Amino acid sequence: MPQLLASLVLGALLPLAFAPFEHWWLAPLLIAVHLPLWRSAPPRTAFWRGFAFGGGAFLTGTYWLYHSVVVIGQVPIALAMLLVLGMVAIMAVYFGLNCWLLRRWLATSPAILLPLLPFLWVWTEWLRGWVLSGFPWLTLGSALPETPLSGWLPLGGVYLGSFVLVAAAVALYGLILPGRVRQVAVATLAVLAAASAGLYDRQWTVETDETLSVRIGQLGQDQRLKWRQEEFQATLQWYARFVDESEPVDLLLMPEVAIPALAQNVRAYLAQLGQVAATRQQTVVLGILNQPENQEPANAMLALAGGQQQWYEKRHLVPFGEFFPVPGFIRDWMRLRGLPYANIRAGDAAPSPIRVGDQLAAASICYEDAYAAEQRVFFPDASFIINISNDAWFGDTIAPHQHLQIARARSLESQRWQARSTNTGISALIDSRGAVRAQAPAFEPATLQGTLTMRAGHTPFTRVGNLPLLVISLLVLVGTAIAQQRRQTGLTSAK
């Protein structure tokens, strides 16, 4: 029991490695401290200690889910607790699996376990980001923008960043072990430090001579007011003034579902914004719902320029937020209880970039930007990134800061500048190194203006994605498992 409690506490400290705290060095340190609690334990015990570590991390790191579900979603508290704790438990299973698989199948010897942990961590973290639509929050590599290890992200993405952090954790633990293990640990840390220094200033893409001026509008509207009919006209007027009164810029950017309506119901209003944009030779980009005839609505990004419309529709939807994978009888119960139950339609899996003047933008809506591999479809054609979001669902919690850090990781992986507009914050301009160049104050109406520098070319990550790291990790794990099995068979035969 003391070891289980210690695992829970260590995991609960892990979110301090992420925004808004950004003590990234805590991630390898906490993993290193947790290692002796399960390294020599029986497989079942190792699982529960890993589960406790993961449970602690997601209890403190995603407590804001309760705010989204109860305060904003108005879900009954008992049901909300079930949903939130269920999500935490599911995420904790992945951490438990790391420990169980290593102790049960891959490394019956504790000495073999240590070098295998980074390879297995990558796989379980990747699976956590994709199985059942995935939840890639608290991916370790997302904590690396503006750190000495930031150069690993354009090379291999956030999962390579996670690999490096876990490898550092194993090496830190190895420093307290005797003999050859300690020597290998010192060498590992030296190699990681040297490689990190070499990658830190590595420019895989090239800066062009072109720039793009952008102005971001943030209404700062409480999510509980957003869809009220009495607020609708005031919302339309605020964004109309934002477009009419803005200084001449190339791009005027508004948040996710800035206009809380179906595009088909506000055609005249959109035509008015488009006319202003055409007259000034600007592009206006905003979030709105799009529902063509005989289809379900889509959470969409609309670009207005030169009298034309461009659409990008959100591809990666939020389970139980934008679609409800439940049987019909549960949907009927949700309707009777007054709970949301309608589905949003997913967009095209291979979308085109958004054109802004002579430039092309990689587009993402809300937490789509947490799925790095899905953004690769836009590169190398896209010279910058647009993200629109609505973090009002999270309230004044750590979630908007975490989400901004995730967006910064996308800029770093692709080495592209980014314009990010959210309803209540954190709206920001992010450079190609993942650094925030400017941001608007949260929870209040605000505008933010600046200039983005265009870039061209591929980074290794945008070219090949996660595949090389996943394949290498799988080969190492499978090869070790086969060798272990043969070794055990040989020992049994010898007896």
Known catalytic residues are 256, 314, 366
Give the N- to C-terminal CA distance of the chain in Å, as an integer.
37
Long-range contacts of 57-60 (CB under 8 A, 24+ apart): 57/11, 57/12, 57/14, 57/15, 57/91, 57/92, 57/95, 57/138, 58/87, 58/88, 58/91, 58/92, 58/137, 58/138, 59/12, 59/88, 60/12, 60/13, 60/14, 60/15
d(CA 97, CA 48): 9
DSSP secondary structure letter of residue 344: P
Q: Which of 465, 354, 359 is nearest to 413 (CA)?
A: 465
d(CA 33, CA 10): 8
DSSP secondary structure letter of residue 316: S
Alpha carbon of 309 to those of 107, 192, 246, 270, 377: distances in Å? 57, 48, 21, 10, 21
Close Cβ partners of 201 (under 8 Å, ≥ 6 residues apart)? 151
Number of H helices and E strands in the chain, helices first, is 16, 12
Q: Are strands 428-430 and 354-356 parallel, antiparallel or unpaired?
A: unpaired
CB contact at 8 A, 144 and 153: yes
d(CA 484, CA 11): 30
Considering only the C-alpha atoms of the chain, give the largest distance between any 2 of them, rounded to a whole number of Å.
87
Residues β-bridged to residue 429: 419, 438
Please tell me whether residue 251 adopts helix, strand or coil conformation. Answer: strand
Element (H, E) at 198: helix 180-200
Q: Is 330 left (phi over 0), alpha (psi -120 to 50) or beta?
A: alpha
Q: Is 157 left (phi over 0), alpha (psi -120 to 50) or beta?
A: left
Q: Is 405 exposed, middle or buried (0-12, 13-18, 19+ CB in 10 A)?
A: buried
CB contact at 8 A, 425 and 100: no
Helix axes 152-174, 110-128, angle to 10 degrees: 150
Phi, psi of 192 (to 5 degrees): -60, -40
